[in-house]
Amino acid sequence: MNLKISCLGGAGEIGMNMYLYETPTSAVVVDCGVIFSDPQQYGVDSVLPDISYLYGIKDKLKAVLFTHGHEDHVGGAIKLLSEFNLPIFTGKFTAALLEHKSSKLNINIVEPRLYTFGDISVEFFPAQHSIPDTYGVVIVADGFSCLHLSDFSHADPELLTRKIDCLLLDSTNATTESRGYTEDDVKQELYKIFSERSGGRIFLTTFSSNVARLGSAIDAAVRVGRKVVPEGASMERILGQAMRMGLISVNGKDIVSPKKAYKMEPSELVYLVSGCQGEPLSALATIASGERKAIKMIEGDLLIFSSRLIPGSERNVNFLINSAMRRGVEVIQADDRLVHVSGHAGRGDLKAFIAAVAPKYFIPIHGEYRHLSAHRKLAIEAGVARESCLMLESGGQIQLWDEAVVYNEIPSGRVYIDGRGGYTLDESAVTMRKQIAKDGVVVVRLLPDGEIALETYGFTLTDKQERDVMLEIINRDIDFAPLNEQLARVVKRYFKKQLSRRPYIAVSD
Q: In sequence order, which residues have a C-beta less than 8 Å from that of residue 89 and are 6 or more positions away?
A: 63, 64, 65, 66, 108, 110, 115, 122, 124
pLDDT at position 281 is 78
Q: How far is CA 23 from CA 28, 246, 339, in A?
A: 9, 40, 45
Q: Which of 70-79, 255-264, 341-350, 474-483 is least confident?
A: 474-483
Instruction: State the virtual CA torsion across 302, 192, 204, 305 in degrees, nearest 10.
Output: 90
In terms of DSSP bridges, do strands 120-127 and 134-141 run parallel, antiparallel, or are they unpaired?
antiparallel
Average pLDDT over residues 216-227: 97
Reported as a single tens digit per residue, the pLDDT across 195-206 is: 999 899 999 999
Q: In sequence order, which residues have a C-beta less than 8 Å from that of residue 323 and are 6 or more positions away?
A: 288, 289, 290
Average pLDDT over residues 209-213: 94
Confidence at 68, pLDDT banded by 50, 70, 90: very high
pLDDT at position 114 is 96
pLDDT at position 480 is 57
C-beta of residue 437 within 8 angstroms of C-beta of residue 499: no
Average pLDDT over residues 54-63: 97
Average pLDDT over residues 240-253: 93
In terms of DSSP bridges, do strands 414-418 and 46-49 run parallel, antiparallel, or are they unpaired?
antiparallel
User: How open is the CA angle 10-16-22, to the nearest 5 degrees?
Assistant: 65
C-beta of residue 317 within 8 angstroms of C-beta of residue 278: yes
Rounded Cα–Cα distance for residues 182 and 179 (Å): 9
Average pLDDT over residues 243-267: 93
Reported as a single tens digit per residue, the pLDDT across 405-417 is: 999 999 999 988 8
Q: Which of 23-32, 71-80, 267-276, 423-432 is least confident?
A: 423-432
Percent of the chain clearing pLDDT 70 (strictly above): 98
